[in-house]
Amino acid sequence: MNKKALVVEDDKNIAELLRLYLEKESFEVLIAADGARGLELALEEHPDIVLLDIMLPVKDGWEVCRGIRQSSKVPIIMLTAKGETLDKISGLEMGADDYVTKPFDVKELMARIHAVMRRAEGGEAGGEKKLTFDKLVINLDSYELIVDGKRIDTPPKEMELLYHLASTPNRVYTRNQLLDEVWGFDYFGDSRTVDVHIKRLREKLEGVSDQWSLKTVWGVGYKFEVLNQ
């Protein structure tokens, strides 16, 4: 069965260009020209990837992203004409997996689509991907985060970042290492992406336990610190 892509884009030329390239990659392509219709299709058709413009009629891309994330973890790539850091951070904070600034290179976009989908499908096979600490369970098989006994809704990329850090407790990672190892070599973003995801994880984790913490190593990067490790 072909993978299904949803393109939410009000520029007909861009939408048709994306349709052409996606169909060449054997995707079934759905197109919505406004945010309200895009959200409807996302919830009704259960696509495997969503390409979501920010500046849309009826509902903007941020509102659509929020609506999708209320019930779905489908990979979302935001498309923005502005290219401003604030737009990128806003999209990532709402649960988008990646962003692309217009005008974009279609081959680069296709590389990102495949990278995001590989990660969403669980990456390499084999072995249980579950880590347990005091009051914390990180289950990458089911993409569930359990904090102090409660399941916390967590976007896929945040889960993957936390799992990666916690897999090697007390090891310090630079932002570039995390971009390379979590986002993949074909990620084209900047290191602020890592900071955004760390900030969101801290909001979920800080103060839960005195046995572990998500630490900033100033001038270097981040680590998942575990006491008595």
Q: DSSP for 20-64? A: HHHHHTT-EEEEESSHHHHHHHHHHH--SEEEEESS-SSS-HHHH
Question: At 170, which helix (H) or strand (E)?
Answer: none
The contacts of residue 158 (CB under 8 Å, 6+ apart) are 197, 200, 201
From CA 112, how far away is CA 43, in angstroms rounded? 23
- For the stretch 149-182, what's the b/e string if a residue is b when 16 or more beta carbons lie within 10 angstroms of its beta carbon? eeeeebbbbbbbbbbbbbeeeeebbebeebbeeb
Whole-model pTM: value is 0.62
Cα-flanking dihedrals φ and ψ of residue 49, to 5°?
Answer: -155, 145
Please give the pLDDT value at position 6: 97
- pLDDT cut 70: percent of the chain above it: 86
Question: Residue written as tokens 């903007």?
Answer: 60
Banded model confidence at residue 105, pLDDT cuts 50, 70, 90: confident
Count, residues in the chain: 229
Please give the pLDDT value at position 85: 58
In the CATH scheme, what is the homologous superfamily, with its name and number, of domain 4-120?
Response regulator (3.40.50.2300)
Q: Cβ distance 51 to 9 under 8 Å? A: yes
Pick the CATH number of 130-226 from 3.40.50.300, 3.40.50.2000, 3.40.50.920, 1.10.10.10: 1.10.10.10
CATH 3.40.50.2300 boundaries in the chain: 4-120
- Token pair of 186, please? 């074909």
Q: Is residue 67 scored above 70 in pLDDT?
A: yes
Q: Is residue 142 scored above 90 in pLDDT?
A: no
Banded model confidence at residue 125, pLDDT cuts 50, 70, 90: very low
Please give the pLDDT value at position 124: 45
CATH 1.10.10.10 boundaries in the chain: 130-226
What angle, 0 to 180 degrees and rounded to 10, lies between the N-to-C axes of helices 85-93 and 192-205?
Answer: 40
